[in-house]
Structure 1
Amino acid sequence: MTGPHALKPFLLAFPGPLRDQLVAAVLSGEKVATTGLLVEYEVEDEELPEAGERSALIDSDGREVAVVEITEVEVLPLGEADLRLALDEGEGFLSVAEWREAHERFWHSAEMREGLGDPGFVVDDSTTVVVERFRVVERLEVAQGD
């Protein structure tokens, strides 16, 4: 029998308050999509996810809290992000502009630029993004620390 440890990690943001918020939104069913940069996959030499693939959702403490299944993967220019995507991200965005502003703030953060190895990294309408839509297929019991 393969346990959840056989699954690759499904990471949202960096550990801390934002990841905690995003993980909670996934667990509540509000967040059913996430958007990353194609260049992140290239820098990590990582293949794009595929529909049907399952991963372990990881919280800020590095614990596996749920199994998520990718239902759809779409690669598109940032300028084509639409309201459905902004709403499906489950972070309370009511417009594409709000969604984009928050994502640009994250993508332009020092931590993100450092991870990409490009201190001057900036996104624009032509920047290629990877949209993953997913669903929670199993919640995992998380052992509470002492």
Structure 2
Amino acid sequence: MTGPHALKPFLLAFPGPLRDRLVAAVLSGEKTATTGLLVEYEIEKEELPEAGERSALIDSDGREVAVVEITEVRVLPLGEADLRLALDEGEGFLSVADWREAHERFWHGEEMREALGDPGFVVDDGTMLVVERFRVVETLSPDVS
């Protein structure tokens, strides 16, 4: 490995309390999947990640805290999200309905709508998602200045 600084950032949510909770869930091993919107990749002209790709997990302070390896990437419509995904997201969801409610709240939030450049953005059963499954391969010591 050439060092964590050579890795693409692995960003969960936006900096703040939600990202802090998600990063902690990854580090504890509770969170082994994450779900994003395909439209985010299209807007940013970013290629989808591939299995085997490694990235640096970034905390709310912009520090690299772990190296994660993608184990699976799937594109599917929101209506096909299942209980396994809800559980693997590691946020305590016990049903697909709870998972969906929390994700819709995030995707319909002001920060996401601003990031997408669409103040009226809404998801429905046909909205395409990118589901990434991953594992932590290394925990990094945060740089303390």
TM bucket normalised to smaller: over 0.9
Q: Percent identity?
A: 88
Indicate the residue corresponding to 2:24 in structure 1: 24
What is the CA-CA distance between 1:3 and the residue it aligns to? Answer: 1.1
Indicate the residue corresponding to 1:50 in structure 2: 50
- Pairwise mapping of residues 27-106 of structure 1 onto structure 2 (< 5 A)? 27-106=27-106
Gaps of 5+ in 2: none
Q: Which amino acid aligns with 2:58?
A: I
Indicate the residue corresponding to 1:131 in structure 2: 131
Indicate the residue corresponding to 1:122 in structure 2: 122
Question: Aligned to 1:31, what secondary structure does the other structure show?
Answer: coil
Q: Which amino acid aligns with 2:136?
A: V
What is the CA-CA distance between 1:143 and the residue it aligns to? Answer: 2.9
What is the CA-CA distance between 1:144 and the residue it aligns to? Answer: 3.6
Q: Which amino acid aligns with 1:71?
A: T
Question: Aligned to 2:129, what secondary structure does the other structure show?
Answer: strand
Could you report, residue by residue, the CA deviation over 1:100-134 in whole angstroms, capped at 9, with x for unpaired residues?
Answer: 00000000001100110111100000000000000
Gaps of 5+ in 1: none
Question: Aligned to 1:50, what secondary structure does the other structure show?
Answer: coil
Distance, in Å, in 1 between the alignment partners of 2:135 and 2:42 is 25
Q: Which amino acid aligns with 1:76?
A: L
Distance, in Å, in 2 between the alignment partners of 1:110 and 1:9 is 23
What is the CA-CA distance between 1:51 and the residue it aligns to? Answer: 0.2
Indicate the residue corresponding to 2:140 in structure 1: 140
